[in-house]
Amino acid sequence: MKIRPLACVLCTFATLATGAARKATPEEARKFIDDAEQKLLLLSVDSSMADWVRSTYIIDDTETLAAKLDERAIAATVEYAKQSTRFDGLKLDPVTARKIKLLKLSLTIATPADPKESEELTRIVSGMEGTYGKGKYCPSGPQSCKDLEELSKIMAESRNPQQLLDAWTGWHAISRPIRKDFVRYVELANKGAGQLGFKDNGAMWRSKYDMEPDAFAKELDRIWEQVRPLYLSLHAYVRNRLREKYGDLVPANGPIPAHLLGNMWAQTWDNIYPLVAPANADPGYDLTELLKKHNTDWKGMVKYGESFFASLGFDPLPQTFWERSLFLKPRDRDVVCHASAWDVDSVNDLRLKMCIEITGEDFLTVHHELGHNFYQRAYNKLAPSFRDSANDGFHEAVGDTIALSITPEYLVKIGLLDKAPDTSKDIGLLLHRALDKIAFLPFGLVIDQWRWKVFSGEIPPDKYNETWWQLRQKYQGIAPPVGRREADFDPAAKYHVAANVPYMRYFLADILQFQFHRALSQTAACTAPLNRCSIFDNKAAGARLNSMLEMGQSRPWQEALEKIAGTREMDASAIRDYFAPLQKWLDDQNRGHPVGW
């Protein structure tokens, strides 16, 4: 699930050559950024409309038109970012200063001032993403080729360790050609970031979070330590159960082989739930069956989600939402079915793009995606520069916060379930959710921890792969299933590394959603266990949520967090509260078994 932002994230930047230009004034800076954001808004709307058509009518023409309009919007943003450097060092009013800062920090890479180096870096980034996108494993010639989707299906469903190993090693081989270009990419990206005044490219990424870059890195370590004991308990339990299944292939007290966890990168483990489920895991109901029993159709699925927000005091979705969204997979054309929430005009043209099926999973997804749409509308009266979430983790966190309120009690209130099962039935549900949410946390941390150390020079090129696996063992307790060499370059077997996409937003969203959920549940005066709390039909919780949503990106994220959670500090203790019943159960299951690696 993802949000479709108003405009593409731009990927290149070049500093202006120094010259004897006339000294700029604060008033000129204010006029510059006000004009720039209005012009960029118009270009972004055109780009979003073209991207919508490309995603819902996939043909060569729509792809070509969308690419042209995307490129036009990106080029304009790059040019404005270049021009904004004339105001560096001026004392500006807070609003103007924040707008210019956000303009620059929307960049994910800073190309050097030298045109040849700028072109080279742009070409390298495009080439690395292209190599990843074309990656296939062909064990015995072209007729046997499998792409990532096919290999991921094997990883999710197969219980044959040799087949899993084959799929894992086959995919991880696709990143070897990327290694040479990646070394040069780091060199050039650091040069560009340095010309903007940043220590390195990783420091530039961390500067997006309204904190000093090094302070932000320390903050993440603090948060991780809060949740680490729960991860250790989950890891030990899963390792014990996998050892029962695979024998000595899984060590009794060491890291788990990466290919046995149901996912190509071992980033989430929910696909192996059937292998590790408790003996009495039946929660007492099946949401998919409940939906079908009540003859729910696609519109009913979306109406349930809209009604959730209406119960909190939000206005209904606009009529254009129902007229312009894509809810079902068409029979006559190709579309991108991956669920996403769109804000096409950055005002009120909200849309959902999703090929809805009547399943419990899609029921959660609808609620999640509408969380994005209602967030988008809440900040639509702000200046265009501020029409985004407080930081890049907030948008995903809001959608997931709403999904956490889909409890048995909520299903009773909307008439899908007659009676909520006893809380003793919750262990299976909590374990399944932990295999997704808790298992992901250290992986979400490692991706950018590794890249930051690469950008800073702490990890030299001849230690790329070795240190990658050292970090994965340190944080995740995961080990490669076979011996690895530097030539393997396993980090780039993950899209975000190959494509220069920062990853920390996903770690932040995983933390923030539980902090949001606990704060809103307290506002709703819920006295049940946190995993059973739902804010449905509580106007006080809705008002508290909206007070944060309507701030958009206009203020530092710490102020937005204070609005909803009453604190300016991220706090992972909410995760421990939510999973407290599971923690106790896991500790009982692990008694007599080693914990850690």
Identify whether 369 is a catalytic site residue.
yes
Q: Which of 29, 66, 266, 339 is catalytic?
A: 339
Length of the chain: 597
Which one of 212, 294, 338, 458 is the catalytic residue?
A: 338
How far apart CA 409 and CA 419 sit, in angstroms, is: 8
**Is residue 403 classed as helix, strand or coil in its secondary structure?**
helix
Is 294 catalytic? The answer is no
Which of 396, 503, 509, 574 is flagged as catalytic? 396
Cα dihedral across residues 90, 96, 97, 101: positive or negative? negative
Terminal alpha carbon distance of the chain: 33
Distance, CA of 119 to chain centre: 29
Q: Of residues 172, 235, 259, 372, which has the active-site annotation? A: 372
Per the residue annotation, which of 368, 397, 434, 560 is the catalytic one?
368
Is residue 478 left, alpha or beta, with left meaning phi > 0 and alpha meaning psi from -120 to 50? Answer: beta
**Helix%, strand%, coil% for the chain, nearest 5:** 65, 5, 35
372 among known catalytic residues: yes
Cβ atoms of residues 235 and 477 within 8 Å: yes
Catalytic residue among 50, 66, 110, 369: 369
* Residue 206 CA neighbour count, 13 Å, CB half: 24
Q: Note if 496 is an active site residue.
A: yes
Residue 106 to residue 392: CA distance in whole angstroms: 11
What 3-state class would DSSP assign to 357?
Answer: coil
Is 458 assigned a catalytic role? no
Distance CA 212, CA 517 (A): 28
- Tokens standing for 516? 């949001």
Please indicate whether residue 338 is annotated as part of the active site: yes
Question: 506, 509, 517, 519: which is the annotated catalytic residue?
Answer: 506
Amino acid identity of residue 572, one-letter, is A
Residue 228 CB partners (closer than 8 Å, separation 6+): none
Instruction: Point out the catalytic residue in the list 357, 496, 540, 559.
Output: 496
Amino acid at 124: I
Catalytic center residues: 338-339, 368-369, 372, 396, 496, 506
